[in-house]
């Protein structure tokens, strides 16, 4: 069975084998050479090579992929598959380390909630405790809860390599630059955490009567 020829000419020579940043497409396809491609927004020639698997679509006759896999379709014919509509597997083995790190980060973040409230109440006069708590939460909302989702959302969107495009409308992200996203988060959160530690240390030094 002949296969549809798709635009697989744009590729990226990076370790993570993804597309040029900012590309828009309909789906991510995995080539037999281990590189991810965007299904081109151009008209294909020939027929589709469906029937290989119910939940997947495969492509052959791709000019930029030399490797292929000989596969038999449900109809009994043989096709030479060069790409499938699946994502390339992620071979990173640092997930357990990441889970431990994120657990410790969240644990110590929530661990400070009660001590911070107690320290706030002890740093002011008894009659000013209500005002102190109000000011504390205003500062938390203004400098933390309100801008944080906006900044983090921008960083996540900025690290997207391929955006889904349906009928000219941009949809969700199909592929992220994991390395770029992790570095962006580090550059933003590390200064914030460092400043938080310095403020806690300054309060501990100045308020010796706690």
Q: What is the dihedral of CA 3, 9, 14, 20, to 10 degrees?
A: -110
Yes or no: say if 181 and 156 are a contact pair by the CB < 8 Å rule: yes
Q: Which of 29-38, 87-96, 120-129 has the lowest mean pLDDT?
A: 29-38
Q: Is the pLDDT of residue 175 over 60?
A: yes
User: Where residue 208 falls among pLDDT bands split at 50, 70, 90?
Assistant: low
Residue 76 per-residue DSSP state? S
* pLDDT of amino acid 54: 36
* pLDDT of amino acid 24: 46
From the number of C-beta atoms within 10 Å of its C-beta (0-12, 13-18, 19+), residue 202 rates as exposed
Q: DSSP of 113-160, one letter per residue?
A: HHHHHHHHHHTS-GGGHHHHHHHHHHHHIIIIITHHHHHHHHHHHHTE
* pLDDT of amino acid 108: 86
- CB count, 10 Å around CB of 156? 14
Q: Is the pLDDT of residue 185 over 80?
A: yes
Summarised one tens digit per residue, pLDDT across range 8-46 is 333 333 333 333 444 444 455 555 555 565 554 323 333
Higher pLDDT, 71 or 112: 112
Mean pLDDT, the chain, integer: 72
Q: Is the pLDDT of residue 191 over 80?
A: yes
* pLDDT of amino acid 51: 43
> Pairing between strand 78-81 and 83-84?
unpaired
pTM beyond cutoff 0.75:
no
Strand partners, 84: 30, 58
């Amino acid at each position: 069975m002949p296969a549809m020829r798709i635009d697989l000419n744009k590729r990226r020579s990076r370790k993570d084998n993804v597309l040029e940043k900012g590309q828009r497409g309909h789906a991510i396809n995995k080539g037999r050479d281990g590189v991810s491609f965007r299904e081109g927004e151009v008209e294909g020639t020939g027929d589709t090579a469906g029937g290989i698997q119910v939940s997947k679509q495969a492509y052959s006759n791709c000019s930029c992929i030399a490797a292929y896999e000989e596969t038999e379709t449900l109809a009994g014919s043989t096709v030479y598959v060069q790409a499938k509509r699946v994502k390339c597997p992620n071979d990173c083995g640092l997930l357990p380390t990441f889970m431990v790190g994120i657990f410790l980060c969240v644990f110590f973040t929530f661990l400070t909630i009660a001590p911070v409230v107690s320290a706030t109440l002890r740093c002011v006069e008894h009659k000013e405790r209500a005002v102190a708590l109000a000011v504390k939460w205003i500062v938390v909302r203004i400098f933390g809860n309100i801008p944080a989702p906006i900044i983090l959302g921008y960083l996540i969107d900025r690290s997207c390599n391929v955006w889904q495009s349906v009928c000219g409308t941009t949809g969700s992200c199909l592929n992220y630059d994991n390395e770029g996203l992790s570095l962006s988060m580090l550059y933003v959160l590390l200064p914030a955490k460092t400043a938080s530690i310095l403020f806690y240390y300054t309060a501990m030094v100045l308020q010796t009567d706690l």
